[in-house]
Structure 1
Amino acid sequence: MSTHMEVMQLVLLRESLRKQLDEYELLKSIYSMPGEFQTDNSRLFDDIQEFLRGTRLSVDEKLDFRIKIQMSENVKVELSVMLGQLYPTHESPIIMIRTDSLNKHQEMRIKQAIENFIETEVDKSEPYMYQVILWLQDNFDDIITIENQTTNSVKDENEAETVQREWIWSHHIYSKIKRQDINKLCKNHQLNGFMWPGKPGVICIEGPSESVREVVKIIKSWQWKKLKIIKTETSDANDLKFLRFNGFEEIMTGEDCDGENVTMDNGRFFKYLENHQSSYMKMELFGFQ
């Protein structure tokens, strides 16, 4: 028998998802030109509808989409959005910025400005992504101007860009939703590395330092039983031998980690490290060579 709390959580989830679908359809109708509105999983919309009708027991993924917005004559911004299942009232969206004409510092400044706007000025009782987009269009030039002034005053123009690799250990990685979110985050940021689910779980992320730090910050903000940054490695961006992985991948299949108490296959994992010039991480991660 369901408890009162479980019933209330289900009501909240259904109401949140219903609002998300309404906003999804609104944005899709507004940004209807070819290439403006995109999603990698159009089937999820139908899955959520089935869940709301009661013909599906659960929804294991989060609604996500990308919108391309012309900010000025020379600048087009791609807004990549991942909605938490309890958005808008109890979870904030994960928002990523990508452009062809701005640098990473400017993209990060836009992202931070959006997050501050959501935190301080948005009414979260209703979906607000369209409000965020309108606000960004109105304030885009000011955000970029402030970023340029700040960058010029604190950063040496000759300062070298760096690449970074983060090794993360988790007590376990089972959740399908977390695994999907990590995959999407890394791929949307065009980062390399891998995730090895199970107990324990290991995540390795490499790429431009600013992007790596941003993704790790998001991952650390989630609820974990235990999560530790084991090792951080950095190098000059011109070091062509630093990056070891080709794209980001989840090593085990989804079936491998269904349920709990799935332990790591040490032999297979150590062989994977060896194949990617990372055997030294056996000591760092597990205390033996």
Structure 2
Amino acid sequence: MNDAEYDEDKESEVDIRDMLELQLSEVEMLTSMFPSKEEFKMDDPCTVSAVKSFLDGQIRYEFLHKRVGFSVKVTPRSSDSKVVVELVCNLPHDYPHVAPTVFTRSPLMNRENHQRLNEDLNEFIQGIERGEICMFSVIEWIQENVDQYLVTVEKKKDSSPIKEVDTVFTRLWIYSHHIYSKFKRRDIIDWAQELKLTGFSLPGKPGVICVEGYSRSVDEYWQRLRRQNWKRLVIKEKEEQDIGDEDMKKYNKFDGFEEKVFDARGGKGREYHMDLGKLFEFLEKRDCRHIFSLYFGVDGKMAAD
């Protein structure tokens, strides 16, 4: 069991309009800095229009279902380097009052160095004073520091790079105090599908996430997930097994990745709870019944009765 735990920043009063206006100014600045679509790409070009519609009073905030997201191709300061690091950014509506959600992609970086880059980048972002846009500073930090995370790629006789082969199957069982945010729910699903992971998520209070696949992809999923704001996010159990060149499907307990909803019942405010008895039945069918007591401290049959 992994006892890593992350606390969500307590909500405070913030003028969302002011925050979104700053975000639009930052996007405008980045667009001028990176005019090529190969360098700077919006996740959804319609997002800016939606934000502007809210700021102009054409739609109410509760109908603003999009948030600003983009990727930037960043090259190191050193002129002899041809390595490009892709910086992926998602801005919560209350950014820059809160930190942005960012991570990097770099196929020429080994697993350990890539994880260290993302952790150090996150530490740098946490040290930036909140309230000011910071993506330019983040890009500069990557440009100035990324070289130290790169390794020399050994070549075979045919000059093709030697790629790391991931043979470790990993399954993570993650507990969240709650999962309500429509944005988090979308990210949980989209990232799993992007990284070709299987499993499921259970929104509500508490929240349950299970992902399984090759260890490198599972680790990247966890790194992305933990960088969002959570009241509590814990790895309850981590299962690992070196499967060599065997077909991973033999070890999967789930087909694809999906969000599960079991007879949701309303609570106070936006709270809602799932039918835990049906969750137990779902886990039992996949030979995962022991997980129920790990999450809830009781035998699943008690919830099913």
TM-score tier (shorter)? 0.7 to 0.9
Q: State the Cα distance separating 1:123 from its structure 2 match.
A: 5.4
3-state SS, counterpart of residue 174 of structure 1: coil
Give the letter for the 1:47 counterpart: A
Aligned partners of 1:165 and 1:212 also within 8 Å: no
- Secondary structure, aligned partner of 2:114: helix
- In structure 2, the CA distance between the partners of 1:233 and 1:222, relative to structure 1 (3 Å rule), is same
2:219 is matched with which residue? 210
The whole-number CA distance in structure 1 between the counterparts of 2:74 and 2:266 is: 38
Paired-residue identity, %:
32
Does the CA contact (< 8 Å) of 1:196 and 1:250 recur in 2? yes
> Alpha carbons of 1:277 and 1:44: their partners in 2 closer, same or farther (altered >3 Å)?
farther
Alignment of 1:153-168 (within 5 A): 162-168=168-174
Q: Are 1:9 and 2:13 matched, yes or no? A: yes
Residue 288 of structure 1: CA displacement?
A: 1.9
| In structure 2, C-alpha distance between the alignment counterparts of 1:166 and 1:248, rounded to whole Å | 13
Match of 1:75 in 2: 83
Bigger CA drift: 279-288 or 258-267? 258-267
Candidates 158, 180, 184, aligned match of 2:186:
180
- Structure 2 counterpart SS, 1:55: coil
The reply to whether residue 242 of structure 1 matches residue 251 of structure 2 is: yes
Residues 184 and 45 (structure 1 numbering): CA distance in 2 closer, same or farther, change over 3 Å?
A: farther
CA distance in structure 1 between the partners assigned to 2:182 and 2:87 by the alignment? 24
Paired amino acid for 1:288: G
Residue identity opposite 2:42 in structure 1: T
2:68 equivalent to 1:63: yes
* Whole-angstrom CA distance in 2 between matches of 1:123 and 1:256: 40
Q: Is the 8 A contact 1:45 1:63 kept in 2?
A: yes
The correspondence for 1:263, drawn from 258, 273, 276, is 273
Amino acid at match of 1:63: V
SS in 2 for 1:50: helix
Q: Compute the displacement of 1:179 (Å).
A: 1.7
* Superimposed CA distance per residue, residues 119-151 of structure 1 (whole angstroms, 9 cap, x where no aligned partner): 44x455431212221332233223437xxxxxx
Q: Is the 8 A contact 2:277 2:300 kept in 1?
A: no
**Secondary structure at 2:109's aligned position in 1?**
coil
Whether 1:96 aligns to 2:72 is no
- Please identify, of 42-51 and 255-264, the stretch whose mean Cα deviation from structure 2 is larger: 255-264
Residue 35 in 1 paired to residue 35 in 2? Answer: no
Q: Can you give the 5+ residue segments of structure 1 that lack an aligned partner in the other structure? A: 1-7, 146-157
1:223 alignment counterpart: 231
Partner of 2:170, secondary structure, is: strand
Deviations 1:55-87 (A, max 9, x none): 222134432111223446542211111122222
**Residues 50 and 267 of structure 1, relative CA distance in 2, 3 Å threshold:** same
Cα–Cα, structure 1 residues 247 and 129, in superposed 2: closer, same or farther, change >3 Å?
farther
From 4, 18, 37, the equivalent of 2:21 is: 18
Q: Note the residue ranges of structure 2 that are not aligned, 5 or more in a row.
A: 1-11, 152-163
- Residue equivalent to 1:111: 118
Q: Sort the Cα spacing of 1:51 and 1:144 in 2 relative to 1 into closer, same or farther, 3 A.
A: same
Distance 1:82 1:68 in 2: 15
Letter in 2 for 1:36: E
| Superposition CA RMSD, Å | 3.7
- How far, CA to CA, are the matches of 1:38 and 1:243 in structure 2? 34
Distance 1:261 1:85, change over 3 A: closer
- What residue in structure 2 maps to residue 85 of structure 1? 93
1:233 correspondence with 2:239: yes
Change over 3 Å in CA distance of 1:218–1:116 after alignment to 2? closer
